[in-house]
Amino acid sequence: MNVAVVGTGYVGLVMGAGLAEMGNTVVCADVDARKIARLRANDVPIFEPGLEPLVVRNQAEGRLSFTTDVGAAVERSDVVFIAVGTPPDEDGSADLSHVLSVADTIGRHLDRPKVVVTKSTVPVGTAAKVRAAVAANARAAFSVASNPEFLKEGAAVQDFMKPDRIVLGVDGPEAEATLRELYEPFVRSGNPLLFMDVASAEVTKYAANAMLAARITLMNQFAALCEQVGANVEQVRRGIGSDARIGKAFLFPGPGYGGSCFPKDVKALCATGRAVGAPLEVLESVDRANEAQKRVPVAKLRRALGSLAGKTVAIWGLAFKAQTDDMREAAALVAVEELLAEGAVLRVHDPKAMEEARRRFGGRVTCVEHRYDALTGADALLVLTEWQEYRVLDFALAKRLMKRPLVVDARNLYEPARLREHGFTYDSIGRP
């Protein structure tokens, strides 16, 4: 099948490469000429495990191509996916300007029947707006569908190639038949293709992310309670995670959720609820509590060190989670700005996010290439991302390099008893 994907961010690029891997002919279009030039040269601008080999292989075999000519991509395709960004407006609602601009371009180049699919995360009612924008100039019949993505950064390729379900909101049998043909190769093991009306598909995406964000936030609040009453949140996590009705996923406390999805989607869903007179009070609280949680690690440093002015703080982890270089809405952004505002000196490390850190922070922090270089002369180590390479701490080396052996671990990577045995002052999230 001939497919166009408009937008080459995380979603669009993973999707385009994945569809090409299954034998489709895919053109990924983007107005960013520099990004397209890099992709044509097999220089993938984002770090996502397994993505670069897919791009290289499918481009070499002629199934995947990249262009800045969105109109031409539309004309040559049977299915057009809209996968551009939907950043939050000031009130938290999703900014649909990019989505509707693409829809307008699709309409001006739609000269034969096609299926137009919103892949971007969009609020309920967006499909109707896309339909109107396409119809204003279309010269042929078309269908509009919603196909929300459920990709986890750091595991996006695996999630796309072996999905646990595919949600498809369609407006008629033609769209259903086309999308069934496109997606059936991905669910040979029996995982479901869930066809539904378009509005339900739009809500499903936001509801899924909101549920997960709420679980993370509730665990962080349980952790705060545990600290006050002398309980251990790790034991609580195992106790409740063993309940089949609850399950084990998304029960790890930490410095608050971040990234491109959860913060934006919770805010957008809350804005939709307010707009239609169905306020989502639980999610409003989740949003506020998560923002507060991002300030907890620095508060722990402040309690341990007193004034932070002139103190050297080493930070391990800048990306919002491991296995990505994405720093959007990361807890590290809040921590760095708070520490700098209080006069601390920062030495930072992340396995993949250093280029982004230099872009965001400039010369205000010292970026180091090896994690232990960050510890030189440090009054404290702050761990913010759960990278595998951070999970084993060389106690002797760390004590030799640091000015004082203080660790604030916002990811609960280390065992408190072992840190104490080696002479460290140690604080984590929700543990004695």
Please give the pLDDT value at position 86: 84
Please give the pLDDT value at position 260: 84
Q: Which residue in 253, 290, 292, 150 sits closest to 207, CA to CA?
A: 150
Q: 20 phi and psi, to 5 degrees? A: -65, -40
Burial of 229 (0-12, 13-18, 19+ CB in 10 A): exposed
Task: Tell me the pLDDT of the chain (432 aa) as tens digits.
Answer: 999 999 999 999 999 999 999 999 999 999 999 999 999 999 999 999 999 999 999 999 999 999 999 999 999 999 999 999 888 776 677 889 999 999 999 999 999 999 999 998 888 889 999 999 999 999 999 999 999 999 998 999 999 999 999 999 999 999 999 999 999 999 998 899 999 999 999 999 999 999 999 999 999 999 999 999 999 999 999 999 999 999 999 999 999 999 988 999 999 999 999 999 999 999 999 999 999 999 999 999 999 999 999 999 999 999 999 999 999 999 999 999 999 999 999 999 999 999 999 999 999 999 999 999 999 999 999 999 999 999 999 999 999 999 999 999 999 999 999 999 999 999 999 998
Please give the pLDDT value at position 50: 96
Residue with tokens 């569908």: 145
Distance CA 320, CA 357 (A): 12
What is the token pair recorded at 131? 């339909």
The Cα-based distances of 318 to 186, 231, 233, 357, 364 in angstroms read 34, 29, 24, 7, 15
Residues involved in catalysis = 261
The Cα-based distances of 369 to 284, 314, 406 in angstroms read 39, 13, 22
Distance CA 366, CA 347 (A): 5
The Cα-based distances of 49 to 247, 272, 314, 332 in angstroms read 26, 34, 27, 22
pTM of the model: 0.89
Return the number of other C-beta atoms located less than 10 Å from residue 303's C-beta.
10
Q: What angle do CA 418, 422, 425 make, to 5 degrees?
A: 85
What is the token pair recorded at 27? 């053109």
Give the helix/strand (H/E) hosting 302. Answer: helix 296-305
Give the helix/strand (H/E) hosting 266. Answer: helix 262-275
Distance CA 150, CA 296 (A): 29
Please give the pLDDT value at position 261: 87
